[in-house]
Amino acid sequence: MMMYSKLVSLYEDMQSTPKRLLKTYYLSEFLKKVEIEDLDNLINLIRGKVFSEQDKEKLGVSSKLIVKAISISTGMSLREVEDEWRRTGDLGLVAENLVGKKKQVTLFSTKLSVKKVFDNLRRLPLVEGLGSVEKKLNLIAELLTSAKPLEAKYIVRTVLEEMRVGVGDGSIRDAFVWAWFDKEIGLTYDKEANNIVFDEDKRDVYNEYVALVERAYNMLNEFREVAKLCKQGKKALGRVGIKINKPLKVMLAQKVEGIDEGFKKVGRPARIEYKYDGFRMQIHKVGDKVTLFTRRLENVTTQFPEIIDYVKKNVSGKEFIIDGEAVGFDKKTGEYMPFQKISQRIRRKYDIKKLSEKLPVELNVFDILYYQGKSLIEEPLENRLEKLRKILKETPKKIILAKGIITEDDKTAEKFYKDSLNAGEEGVIMKRLDGPYKPGNRVGGWVKIKPVMESLDVVVTGAEWGEGKRSSWLTSFKIGIIDEAGELLEIGKVGTGIKELESEGAVTFERMTELLKPLIIEEHGKEVIVRAEVVIEVNYEEIQKSTNYSSGFALRFPRVARLREDRGVDDASTIFMVEEFFKKQKR
Ligand code: AMP
């Protein structure tokens, strides 16, 4: 059983350097010593999480509760804890400092194990009902009482889900390769030069292992599962296949400028389809059970009862996984509606039936990944479409195949693109006809063409309370994008485009405040820092170079276009995209 102090040393090591490779090295050295039984708990904690994205539970502990827990465990008054919080602005540091000051000698306190920390934290969302606040408080205070100062800091940061050790998902994937396949690759890390060194010419072998780990991750979407497979070896890792009811990452499209560039990327002839503006939906069916996942792989089965019904009635087969886009339409005119009008359906927990009648969706199916026990993702798109046609009974305004053509001709393709825009769609997606379905991949044979300047999906990392009659709302937002390792980079601030009053589909200050308030982790006067969870789509006039923000870029005249409640931090726009858009606009 691993002691928590060991994990804390890892956090400290990783936090001590901004160098990505060095962080990866620390992590890989740590992982080499971990027993397989410990991996489950550890992998999540290393990522600064107690629950992973697919777990239904959410931690949801407020800063207030933590202040109380620190007070109880250190014997300091609430005032003293709050003063220290104001002084340092960081509850993790508060815990570290105050536990350090604690007078009573804790000779008899037991040493904390990783398991104990994990178990207590995991129980937090499970306590419910009368006295639940008290019970939560005890679970945290118990840990803090046994903790050394540094341990206390990381316990608090874990509970707040704000680790600040700066290890992104990309580094974690690399660390798996370094830790468990270093012998096969002959890999060593040169600390002096901050460089990785391979035996002879093993770079290809290294890339092969990275791809293998990535593939397994895209199929399973659970780092802890992938870690266990790596530990078992290459064979186990390579055997990973599709599992029904376990969502796999969706395939994505790369942006191109026009039909011509599109053909260059995907070849001729190509499949060209309408690009619908709705929710991505990955649908799994086994027997009578239908399960719906969003692009972020959140389970939204209960929110869309009509889709369950359409799939059961109109798609034949006992077991399958299909992929498509659910698009809202106006009940009276039958016209499609933009995404923001129906976005509320994703989060809705009550009156679901009513809402589904008011804001109905049509499912536009464009792919099939699995059928009757057999994975189809390696099959060419052409064959997958053929299969879909055979098993799907099209019923307009319920379930249809995404509208598309197969052509090698520029003119026909251009006309289809125009038709799509005239029909009110966003543009088209061009797909390589003989291409496989590549989970999680943006450069795997699909490209998108849209006439409008590409917007950015940015993560809100902070905000400011408004003035005067807006003082109860957060009104100005700090925004960020992500780097290749999933770390956040600032790109500026945005406040315009948000409405004061509710109108259908509009982003309002009220809604933003409602979403962000529970995520506040620090307050400095009018400014707050929030846990990075909320994603908004922004338009802008231009991307400019800037030294003010850590991304190295800023947006000229940014405007909030819509809330992307279907997206999470890892769906945010990347620095790579911003660099591409920057280059393109200069041309
Ligand atoms: P974007 O979100 O701009 O990267 O565009 C990719 C998204 O377009 C996908 O994730 C789908 O949700 C959506 N989409 C709409 N129509 C299609 C289609 N025919 N094929 C694939 N994706 C589509």
pLDDT > 70: percent of the chain: 97
**Measured distance between the N- and C-terminal CA atoms of the chain, rounded to whole angstroms:** 58
Lookup result for tokens 């400019």: 544
Look at residue 185 and give its three-state secondary structure.
helix
List, for residues 361-384, the tens digit of each pLDDT value. Answer: 999 999 999 999 999 999 999 999
Residue 429 Cα to ligand 1 middle (Å): 7
CB of 431 within 6 A of ligand 1: the answer is: no
The rounded mean pLDDT for the chain is: 91
CA distance 361 to 276: 12
* 212 closest CA partner among 233, 187, 189, 190: 233
CB of 295 within 6 A of ligand 1: the answer is: yes
Q: Whose C-alpha lies nearest to ligand 1, atom 23? A: 275
List, for residues 421-463, the tens digit of each pLDDT value. Answer: 998 899 999 999 999 999 987 777 999 999 877 899 999 999 9
CB of 81 within 6 A of ligand 1: the answer is: no
For the ranges 192-196, 240-244, 320-324, the lowest mean pLDDT is seen at 192-196
Q: What is the dihedral of CA 397, 401, 407, 413, to 10 degrees?
A: 30
Please tell me the predicted confidence (pLDDT) of residue 139. 96
List, for residues 275-328, the tens digit of each pLDDT value. Answer: 999 999 999 999 999 999 998 888 899 999 999 999 999 999 999 999 999 999
Q: Whose C-alpha lies nearest to ligand 1, atom 11? A: 280
CA distance 328 to 330: 7
CA distance 472 to 102: 37
Nearest atom in ligand 1 to 275's CA: 16
How many whole angstroms from its chain centre is CA 129?
Answer: 31
Mean pLDDT along residues 42-70: 87
* 367 closest CA partner among 432, 429, 437: 437
**H/E run at residue 527:** strand 527-530
The answer to whether 40 touches 48, Cβ cutoff 8 Å, is no
Buried b / exposed e over 1-16, threshold 16 CB at 10 Å, is: ebebeebbebbebbbe
Please tell me the predicted confidence (pLDDT) of residue 108. 55
Q: Is the pLDDT of residue 104 over 60?
A: no
The answer to whether 459 touches 481, Cβ cutoff 8 Å, is yes
Residue 402 Cα to ligand 1 middle (Å): 11
Band the pLDDT of 587: cuts 50, 70, 90. low
Look at residue 460 and give its three-state secondary structure.
strand
186 vs 364, which has greater pLDDT? Answer: 364
Look at residue 322 and give its three-state secondary structure.
strand
CA distance 122 to 139: 10
Known catalytic residues? 275
CB of 402 within 6 A of ligand 1: the answer is: yes
How many whole angstroms from its chain centre is CA 319?
Answer: 27
Look at residue 225 and give its three-state secondary structure.
helix
**Strand partners of residue 271:** 406, 431
CA distance 81 to 74: 9
Please tell me the predicted confidence (pLDDT) of residue 409. 97
CB of 367 within 6 A of ligand 1: the answer is: no
The answer to whether 464 touches 274, Cβ cutoff 8 Å, is no
CA distance 578 to 553: 8
Nearest atom in ligand 1 to 251's CA: 10
Q: Which residues contact 108 (CB under 8 A, 6 or more apart)?
A: none
Domains, the chain, in order of start with CATH, read: 4-159 (1.10.3260.10), 169-238 (no CATH), 254-449 (3.30.470.30), 456-586 (2.40.50.140)
Residue 221 Cα to ligand 1 middle (Å): 20
Q: What phi and psi, each to the nearest 5 degrees, are found at residue 222?
A: -140, 110
Q: Whose C-alpha lies nearest to ligand 1, atom 5? A: 253
Band the pLDDT of 103: cuts 50, 70, 90. low
Question: Does the pTM of the predicted model rise above 0.75?
Answer: yes
The answer to whether 369 touches 242, Cβ cutoff 8 Å, is yes
* 450 closest CA partner among 267, 277, 326: 277
Residue 252 Cα to ligand 1 middle (Å): 7
C-alpha pair distances (Å), 433 with each of 392, 519, 532: 20, 44, 38
Q: What is the β-pairing status of strands 427-432 and 456-465?
A: unpaired
